[in-house]
Amino acid sequence: MNVGIFGGNGRMGTAFASFFKNLGFQVFIADKGSKYSNIEVAKLAEVLIVAVPIDKTENVIKEINPYVRKKALLMDVTSIKEQPVKAMLKSKAAVIGMHPMFNETTFGFGQKILYSPARPGKWLPWFLDVFGEKGGFKLIKISPKKHDQIMAFAQTLVHFTDFALAKTLSRLGPNLSELLSLASPASCLRVKIAARHLAQDAKLYGNIQFQNLQNRAVLKIFEEEVQELFRIVTKHDLGRFIAYFNQGKKYFGNYGKMAIKETDVLIQRMIGVGKLPTAQPLPKKAIATLGPSLTYSSFAALKWKGKKGNFVVYFNSIEEIFEAVESGKVLYGVVPLENRLQGTIRETHDCLFKHRVYLVDELRLDIHHCLAVLPGVDLKHIQQIVSHPQALNQCSLYLRKYFPKAEWITVSSTAAAFEYIRQAGDEGMAAIGSKEAAKHFKFKIAGRAIENDSSNVTDFIVISSEKPKAQPFRKAKTSLVFYFQENKPGSLFAVFEVFADLGINLSRIESRPAPKELGEYLFFVDIEENADSKKGRMALNEVRKIVSGLKILGIVTLPPGGHRPPSS
């Protein structure tokens, strides 16, 4: 079976293309510079997915409708549903509208997909199998009209307030660092969420505001309420303010108490579990890794620390670790690179390209998860499973078998899952993490080795700002990244041919979307050759003639046998 993706070179299109390729489907891409046109893919494909920007979606659907086969399935992935579904129904094909509630960086098991089976025909069982059973997505059925009504609140209204907040701050000009340092934790969280949205694609968010037909009525009511509140505040009318306040409070009802609990946990995580104050000097020759302690990253750092005897410090994100290493605040960083079950860690690859650091070593760690609950909890009462997204995905088969209706709650680390549940005191929650963390937090282990595959391992890399001395005669592996300014047929083959002609084996190949100014993709490659050797220098000199840019990420000594270190 084959799948055609319109906009298949975009970020979400690329994610869906990889998803289908991994399931064994043939994938046709229609996009700028691609081999096939929209009409050619419409004629070829059995399953068609429109993954172009919202403002172009209807035009693409109208263009391909006359050429889509009657036996085909036509879908879209936009964040509005009424207009795209209406347009797709004018074709002869089966129609299912989709709205992935995630972006390309969080694509995977446990994520939500809203779907509208407007005219599914014979395709609904296939859709449920591919995305539900094989893909592990949580599928939520909803009509196009209901979808757009809810999104007018959940996306448009919420985002609108963030944009207005940011513009107001920009206009008034308070010092951001001072604002965040003096504001309450809850206010900091509010500002950070707004900043998160404003750090993304303005065109995407603009189209979410513009294209949903339900938006205008919702935003008009919001405008009226803001004006009413402004009048109350400027007149210092406490009685009317209390009445206004209580109307909102009544709407939230008992959820208000639950929200306090849940945001208390978020605030506790935000203000410092494992995060050192910036004013506090770090130990000399410190090793940075993802915190808090009792995470698998911390186990990897402690394992590698045995070689060096350095002090381990904890950070809240991979990006922060790279920044600390690059700036010289710490000597080393230990970060996850790849998991056998879930694949590569995208953020690590992006940071390797972005930051001036060197990959100096690597290690492998066995990953065995357990399910743990507060003492005295009956598993029949479990309604929510809490852990890091990777851990939830790695245990998806177990969770779908024993807790099919449980909601997945993602937190920053496996250790944070235990903290989250302990602070919430919720007996309807279970954590997934290490047995060491369960023991430390005094949880009862209810299931051991619950990962999908007992051979589950994660490869970690060690980074440093200090470039290792050249040792051209040692047997080593070189990690590098390169890119092409233009996506031309045969370009990648030409690079591989250089290595093949010199008898150099490639042990790993990954691709990531490139920054716009650098073409379409970054290609991460491991070659089993020392870049400082005569053969290595010869190969890289030839590759530089083909590519637009090349960066050597690091050189790591190969153990006996020429492969990664054995697992712990």
Which residue do the tokens 């410090």 mark?
Answer: 313
Q: How far apart are CA 115 and CA 457, in angstroms?
A: 34
Domains of the chain: 2-142 (3.40.50.720), 147-253 (1.10.3660.10), 370-450 (3.40.190.10), 468-557 (3.30.70.260)
Instruction: Determine which of 235-244, 321-330, 480-489 has the lowest per-residue pLDDT on average.
Output: 480-489
> What b/e sequence results for 179-206 when a residue is b if at least 16 CB atoms lie within 10 Å of its CB, and e otherwise?
eeeeeeeeebbebeebeeebeeeeeebe
Give the burial class of 566: count Cβ atoms within 10 A of its Cβ; 0-12 exposed, 13-18 middle, 19 or more buried.
exposed
pLDDT tens digit sequence for 245-292: 999 999 999 888 878 877 876 776 665 544 444 445 667 678 999 878
Residues in the chain: 568
Residue 168 binned pLDDT confidence (cut-offs 50, 70, 90): very high
> How sure is the predictor about 331, in pLDDT bands with cuts at 50, 70 and 90?
very high
Q: How confident is the model at residue 486 (pLDDT cuts 50, 70, 90)?
A: confident
Pairing of strands 370-373, 407-410: unpaired
Report the pLDDT value the prediction gives residue 566, as an integer from 0 to 100: 44
Lowest pLDDT segment from 86-95, 127-136, 138-147, 167-176: 127-136
What distances in angstroms separate CA 223 from CA 37, 234, 357, one per listed residue?
44, 17, 49
pLDDT of residue 284: 67
Taking only the tens place, the pLDDT of each residue in 430-466 is 999 999 999 999 999 999 999 998 888 999 999 999 8
**Could you tell me if residue 383 is left (phi over 0), alpha (psi between -120 and 50 degrees) or otherwise beta?**
alpha
DSSP calls for 393-411: HHTHHHHHHH-TTPEEEE-
| CB atoms inside a 10 Å sphere around CB 281 | 8
Helix (H, G, I), strand (E, B), or coil: what is residue 36?
strand
DSSP letter assigned to residue 564: P
What pLDDT sits at residue 273?
44
Mean pLDDT of 366-380: 95
pLDDT beyond 90 at 115: yes
Mean pLDDT throughout 157-169?
A: 96
State the pLDDT at residue 279.
43
Q: Using alpha carbons, select from 352, 342, 407, 493 the residue that is nearest to residue 19.
A: 342
Q: CB–CB of 465/357 below 8 Å? A: yes
The string of pLDDT tens digits covering residues 264-274 is 767 766 655 44
Q: What is the mean pLDDT of residues 385-404?
A: 90
Q: What percent of the chain has pLDDT over 70?
A: 94
User: Omega of the bond prior to 174 within 30 degrees of 0, cis?
Assistant: no
The 8-class DSSP code of residue 558 comes to: P
Residue-wise pLDDT tens digits, 181-226: 898 888 988 999 999 899 888 988 999 999 999 999 999 999 999 9
Whole-angstrom CA distances from 40 to 31, 215, 547 are: 11, 36, 30
- Residue 393 confidence class, pLDDT cut points 50, 70, 90: confident
Q: Phi/psi of residue 363, each to 5°?
A: -155, 160
Calpha distance 420→372 (Å, rounded):
13
- Number of Cβ within 10 Å of residue 21's Cβ equals 12
Which of 62-66, 240-244, 518-522, 538-542 shows the lowest per-residue confidence on average (mean pLDDT)?
A: 518-522
The pLDDT assigned to 209 comes to 94
Prediction pTM value: 0.63
| Selection from 419, 428, 334, 441 nearest residue 380 by Cα | 428
Q: At 117, give phi and psi (nearest 5°).
A: -80, 80
Which pair of structure tokens corresponds to residue 229? 């509140």
